[in-house]
Amino acid sequence: MNKINYVDICCGLNWGDEAKGKIIAELAKTNEYNFVCRWAGGSNAGHTVYINGKKYKTHLIPCGIFYNISSIIGPDCVININSFNREIEYLKENGFNTDLIKISENAHLITDEHIEEDKLKYKSQGTTAQGIAPCYRDKYGRVGKQIKDIEYFKKYIWDNKLSGNVLCEGAQGFWLDINQGNYPYVTSSTTLPYGACSLGFSPKLIRKIYGASKIYDTRSGIDPDFPEELLNDEELLLIIKEGKEYGTTTNRMRKVNWLNIDKLIKSINISGTTDVVISKIDVLDKLKKFKVIYEKKIKSFDSLEDMKDFINNILNKSCSNVEKVIYSNNVEFVDV
């Protein structure tokens, strides 16, 4: 009998681009997990991992593939056959075992028509033009095409069984969630941890939720909460340059702002995050710029340690689920 021991989840606490791939990679390399699963979204997301100093990128396929772990694409994901095939070929060329990749038969197919519609209709909302929104619309309108109906995907069909220890890989971030984000400047799927249960397990099995954040906020695409005026701020432009803030999928320059502590508290509490992982602290340390937004005001600090102490104290007071806060200053790995 198949039995799940526990489920750990990694989700984004901001607007995506929070180093979730790095966290997933560190967890996966422990050999603790039997499955790594993606629960929603499509190739509009991008995860970057480093193995022996070499950079690898995926957009849809879970990071477990880099560590010889069964990698599942779940039923609430949407798949473009060409993008998927490119990832498969990329992984094969780099020596990874693509036989470990399986897809839920209920995942939906992104068509060429979806992509063309996305380019024409959703440009004003900062779309990645991957056909994501039109595909989800057809899914919920019950007129979409499922993977089980496509001959190409037959060899990848997942048997819907999970067992042992499961790691769930989130895409994008809390403030891009279709329900929690600044609608309509959001993605078309659920980015919060509860969405992972669509893979077929009880929420009672969730052991830990790793919430990923940067030490400053970044946003790809259009959002009134990130006005164009931010690009006129010399300090924020320095962060963009030093932090190499360009999207994994689109290569678009991200807008940057100081870390909004009030939003971070909300995303931690609603997501149920137990372990907060804050990356890119090396960027601010190098620039010697230490600021956050708290209670709608910018608060400055004399040192990185002062800033970290402030964040730790606020989260300790405001987030009862949090067991630890981890800071990362390395682009390749984080000690989780």
Can you give the pLDDT at residue 191?
Answer: 97
- Beta strands of the chain (E only): which ranges? 4-12, 35-41, 47-51, 54-58, 70-80, 101-103, 108-110, 164-169, 206-214, 216-219, 255-260, 275-279, 291-294, 297-300, 324-327
Q: Which band of pLDDT confidence, cut at 50, 70 and 90, is reported for residue 248? A: low
Q: Which band of pLDDT confidence, cut at 50, 70 and 90, is reported for residue 252? A: confident
Can you give the pLDDT at residue 126?
Answer: 60
Q: Could you tell me the pTM of the whole model? A: 0.95
Q: What is the rounded distance in angstroms from the CA atom of residue 182 to the CA atom of residue 225?
A: 8
Residue 1 scores a pLDDT above 50: no
Cβ atoms within 10 Å, residue 65: 23
Residue 318 scores a pLDDT above 80: yes
Residue 240 scores a pLDDT above 60: yes
Question: What's the sign of the alpha-carbon dihedral 56, 57, 58, 62?
Answer: positive
Can you give the pLDDT at residue 271?
Answer: 98
Tell me the pLDDT tens digit for each residue of 216-232: 999 988 899 999 999 99
User: Which CATH entry fits the domain spanning 217-327: 3.90.170.10, 3.10.20.30, 3.40.50.300, 3.40.390.10?
Assistant: 3.90.170.10
Q: What is the rounded distance in angstroms from the CA atom of residue 123 to the CA atom of residue 78?
A: 19
Catalytic residues: 17, 47
Domain ranges within the chain, ordered by starting residue: 4-107+153-214, 217-327
- Mean of all residue pLDDT scores within the chain: 94
CATH class of 4-107+153-214: alpha beta
Q: What is the rounded distance in angstroms from the CA atom of residue 14 to the CA atom of residue 30?
A: 26
Tell me the pLDDT tens digit for each residue of 121-173: 766 566 778 999 999 999 999 999 999 999 999 999 999 999 999 999 999 99
CB 63 within 8 A of CB 47: yes
Residue 194 scores a pLDDT above 60: yes
* Percent of the chain whose pLDDT exceeds 70: 97
